[in-house]
Structure 1
Amino acid sequence: MALVATLGGLLFGYDTGVINGALIPLSGELGLDALGEGAITSALLFGAAAGALAGGWVSDAVGRRTTIIGLSVLFVAGALVCSLAPGFGVLILGRIILGLAVGGASTVVPVFLAELSPYEVRGSMSGRNELMILVGQLAAVVVNAILGSTLGHVEGVWRVMLAVAALPGLFLFIGMLRVPESPRWLVAKGRHEEARTVLRALRTEERADAELDEVRRIVDQDSARRTESLSEIVGNRWLRRILLVGIAIAVFQQLTGVNSIMYYGQVVLRDSGFTADAALVAAIAPALIGVIGSFIALAMMDRVNRRTTVVTGYALVALCHLLIGGASLVVPVDSPARPYIMLVLIVAFVGSMQTFLNVATWVLLSEIFPLRMRALGMGVSVFCMWIANALLSLWFPSLLAALGLTGSFFSFGAVNVVTALVMWKVLPETRGRTLEGVERGVEDGSIYRTPAPAGRA
């Protein structure tokens, strides 16, 4: 079930990462400047912001499973529109359609996995979606490198790169037809026996019945004080605080600048001293270390506290940014070692990010919100994430042109030093708690005052 659902994550990764290799041939064929390149890249991300916000509401209304099936249709449609686009305008439209699907998947799939998972493995299970995102990004750069090396001389090779995403979209559609609905969503809709059937397929009978009773108690409590609007959440002290924490988790992840490497890695590596063809192949290294880092992150997720992981991650990312900026300043431009030094430091940055932050970010977002605001809280947080991602991606080519590698990465480093301090101050601990235990801690504010229990809460 997790494998099928996380095909949405794989599509998320491929569709955001494919532009890394497609952008240079696409830009040459369409005659784009730096702002045009930013528009093509960020169109998907602005669409993702809308998809993330709408995805939470839609999944609350029609169910997590039904929503993911609808997203699979958008993935296929967007890939086909992009690959067949006659010009800039239609390509932008196709990227927006893909963005709606990517944003919806980024909101719904982690929640779906969290609501299906036993509490003791919820972190590693929910984190598998982030692993699949990185597998998708790795697949994108590998496909780009193969197509660029074999068909780079053929006009329109970027269309083939973009079209490949239709295949996993089709697999997602077929697979989700056989996956059951989230038991917690079923309980929220009063469909208790259906929820019992799903839980008994995933747990022992005794545990399934006990978990169902606990979820029913939480839902019954929520029904008397149900929060359905953003204004009601803002009016509640503790719900407002957890929403702000969720937004901070989401936005700060983007301010690491990791997606500048994922989207513009070929451009950055070319500016570091690689030729265009060598940069296309070298871009595989950061994507590969990202996948390796995610495997390590999954192994840590249920063993190391979330706060420790996140604060450590931002400190390492800030250090890597300062080293990248320093190397670009100190190592001569004409030095044959320069591109390889920069590549090693970029790989260290991406590895730190993917090992300590990416998986933890999505796991935290999927588990910190109470049930009655989970979809909305996730939607608002991920909406803010995508807006930050889109704005950064839109202006990164211009930022790179204005400040160069040195100024750009020193700026990222300063931001991430501040972020590490903020996360140390505000981030609650959720490891070792059931979703219902997290909810009780959020409701009374105790989650900010007490450490996570060693076992069940």
Structure 2
Amino acid sequence: MTNFLTSADVKAMPREVFNWRLVLATGSACMAGSLFGFDTGNIGGIIVLPSFKETFGLTANGPNAYQAPNLSANIVTALQAGAVLGALLAYTSADRLGRRWTLIVGAVVFLIGCILQLIARLSTLYAGRVISGIATGLCSVVAPMYISETSPKAIRGAMTTCFNLIIVTSLSLAFWINYAVSTWSNPSNKQWRIPMAIQMIPGGLLFIGMILQKESPRYLISHDRSDEAIQNLTYYRQLPADHPFVAIEVAEITESVKAEMLAVKGSSVFSLCKEVITVPANRRRYILAFTLQIFQQMTGTNAINYFAPSIFASVGLTGTSTSLLATGVYGIVKVCTTVVYASLIIDNVGRRKPLMTGAVIQACCLLYLTIFVKLATIETGQVSAGGYVGVVAIYIYAFGWSFGWSVVPWVVPSEIFPNRIRAICMSSIFAWQWLLNFAITRATPYMMLNLDKWGAYLIFAVFTFASAIWAFFFLPELKGRSIESTDRLFEQSAFTMLKRAYPTEEEKTLDLSPRDKALEAASGTTHHIEESPARREDIV
């Protein structure tokens, strides 16, 4: 098995391309993933801290004790509610302000939201989380776009995957920060304010980092600023403008942008939405991408991320510090597995088989938790042998999640939509993702309370088993598939997808070059560029 550093395309690249400027640009934009990761890991641990409960009246004798589950759910999900709006605004903002300035503005908005969250007033906390959510949703869409547009195509997939890696790394760090403050013997408001304030660090790094960066060449070319685009490209490649590597990359970006602009020329938002619904091939693409978002959320991963301490308590781990320690280990498992998946699996094995395998692993672990929590007698302060197996099951669940549902719902939508409808589809799909995240996270406390915990695990287990079955019949393998082959996938009924799931050797080599496609589109020949997806290397 090989990785991206040993591929022939990478070896053929000039050594100057691998430089600190590229690393800094990618690292700066990846801080946008840290906004989401830190909050996801932070808030679930913060709401169970004694000092937080005391401040907001959520203790057993507090004024808000009777509605504690409802308030906890509201506090957690306020960010996702804002993120839905942010995701919907992303493509408009990225087109009008540019990728770089959108991320800068997003960082400022996020920092404002973080400051409001430090004020010990419930209404202000809600407002701060919604504002931070808008920034998080906005940056979660635009940051991968910026990374993909500034990275060389041979390592573009690996660079973009760093965004997901930063998410799970920040998630893990937040878990451990919560554990550290939970061990304080004399907790005060600092106990919850410190982990809440620490998330301002990635927000500040995003702001400072993007201030120092340059706009993506693709954006500049699409706005008739080619000279500036060439300057920025030579900056990031550390090569002269007349170098063949730079000249070829500029030509490819220019042709791709021209094709995309030709595809959407004269189209309104309404006409594009109508095209998504009425054209069968486009409708199949959208349903596939939307279904991926549903199953990702219904595997229960974000429910566990946000309420991990309560999840561990359900198998017998009592005490705030103990459950937060177990949560920290859960984060480490996610980080390590995601590194293996990103570096060795996704570009070698593909997306389909790892996802099905990971889903089955997840479902089996959830099924064990269902049976154990239903049948076992859990005594306070004591963890049985079955309880320890339950803890291990949660860690194995994280292992399975990282091999499929962690990355695939982000990657596949970027690979299947044609240029003509790509922007509007991607924006709405990720808005759906945040909305579903909101719905599941909002419902989890009530599911855990009203279904005696085991019922929630059973629901997640059933959906996760169903996701593996669905993937077997309806999810195609996109690794190694040519653009023309991807088009053909969606021309026939989804019920025939199983027979066409893997590309043949012929289908791997059907593509014309971007220059040939542009020439054909201009001359009116039979190849319709508006019905072809953007080049995958320009996206992921």
The reply to whether TM is greater than 0.5 is yes
Alignment of 1:71-82 (within 5 A): 71-82=106-117
Letter in 1 for 2:350: N
Gap change, CA 1:155 and 1:68, over 3 Å in 2 = closer
Does the 8 Å contact 2:447/2:453 carry over to 1? no
Deviations 1:123-180 (A, max 9, x none): 3222211111111111111111112213662245212211111121111111112323
Residue of structure 2 in register with 1:91 after alignment:
125
Letter in 2 for 1:124: A
Gap change, CA 1:223 and 1:268, over 3 Å in 2 = closer
Gap change, CA 1:267 and 1:235, over 3 Å in 2 = same
- Paired with 2:86 and 2:311, the residues of 1 have a C-alpha distance of 29
Alignment of 1:7-22 (within 5 A): 7-22=31-46
Residue of structure 2 in register with 1:234 after alignment:
277
Say whether 1:170 aligns with 2:204: yes
1:3 Cα shift? 1.1
Residue of structure 2 in register with 1:249 after alignment:
292
- Paired with 1:225 and 1:445, the residues of 2 have a C-alpha distance of 28
- Paired with 1:420 and 1:410, the residues of 2 have a C-alpha distance of 16
- Paired with 1:363 and 1:127, the residues of 2 have a C-alpha distance of 9
- Paired with 2:169 and 2:508, the residues of 1 have a C-alpha distance of 32
Letter in 2 for 1:315: V
Deviations 1:359-409 (A, max 9, x none): 222222333333343332222111111111111111211110111232211
Letter in 2 for 1:17: G
Say whether 1:401 aligns with 2:449: yes
TM-score scaled by structure 2? Answer: 0.78
Greater radius of gyration (CA): 2
SS of 1:6's partner is helix
Does the 8 Å contact 2:44/2:305 carry over to 1? yes
- Paired with 1:125 and 1:438, the residues of 2 have a C-alpha distance of 25
Residue of structure 1 in register with 2:86 after alignment:
51
Which sits farther off after the overlay, 322-331 or 131-140?
322-331
Which sits farther off after the overlay, 99-108 or 236-245?
236-245
Residue of structure 2 in register with 1:378 after alignment:
426
Match of 2:329 among 266, 275, 285: 285
Alignment of 1:409-428 (within 5 A): 409-428=457-476
- CA RMSD, aligned part only? 2.7
- Paired with 2:127 and 2:160, the residues of 1 have a C-alpha distance of 31
Gap change, CA 1:34 and 1:27, over 3 Å in 2 = same
Which sits farther off after the overlay, 49-58 or 34-43?
49-58
Match of 1:24 among 43, 48, 58: 48
Does the 8 Å contact 2:220/2:229 carry over to 1? yes
Does the 8 Å contact 2:56/2:120 carry over to 1? no
Deviations 1:190-237 (A, max 9, x none): 333444444454492243144225414522541446564433432333
Deviations 1:297-355 (A, max 9, x none): 11112112222232222222222211221232344424533442221111111121123
Letter in 2 for 1:171: L
Letter in 2 for 1:61: R
SS of 1:181's partner is coil
- Paired with 2:26 and 2:485, the residues of 1 have a C-alpha distance of 22
Say whether 1:136 aligns with 2:170: yes
Gap change, CA 1:212 and 1:140, over 3 Å in 2 = same
- Paired with 1:28 and 1:9, the residues of 2 have a C-alpha distance of 31
Does the 8 Å contact 2:221/2:257 carry over to 1? yes
Alignment of 1:92-171 (within 5 A): 92-150=126-184, 153-171=187-205
Residue of structure 2 in register with 1:183 after alignment:
217
Q: Which has the higher contact order (CA 8 A, sep 6+)?
A: 1
Residue of structure 1 in register with 2:318 after alignment:
275
Say whether 1:367 aligns with 2:415: yes
- Paired with 1:121 and 1:307, the residues of 2 have a C-alpha distance of 21
TM-score scaled by structure 1? Answer: 0.91
Say whether 1:324 aligns with 2:369: yes
- Paired with 1:367 and 1:146, the residues of 2 have a C-alpha distance of 41
Say whether 1:351 aligns with 2:399: yes
Identity percentage over the alignment? Answer: 28
Does the 8 Å contact 2:368/2:390 carry over to 1? no
> How many aligned residue pairs are there?
455
Which sits farther off after the overlay, 263-272 or 419-428?
419-428
- Paired with 2:428 and 2:296, the residues of 1 have a C-alpha distance of 15
Which sits farther off after the overlay, 369-378 or 123-132?
369-378
Letter in 2 for 1:398: Y
- Paired with 2:464 and 2:154, the residues of 1 have a C-alpha distance of 31
Which sits farther off after the overlay, 8-17 or 356-365?
356-365
SS of 1:356's partner is coil
Does the 8 Å contact 1:255/1:415 carry over to 2? yes
Does the 8 Å contact 1:59/1:375 carry over to 2? no
Does the 8 Å contact 1:369/1:439 carry over to 2? no
Q: Structure 2: which 5+ residue stretches go unaligned?
A: 1-24, 59-67, 240-244, 512-540
- Paired with 2:310 and 2:358, the residues of 1 have a C-alpha distance of 25
Gap change, CA 1:442 and 1:296, over 3 Å in 2 = same
Does the 8 Å contact 2:82/2:131 carry over to 1? yes
Gap change, CA 1:456 and 1:356, over 3 Å in 2 = farther
1:288 Cα shift? 0.8
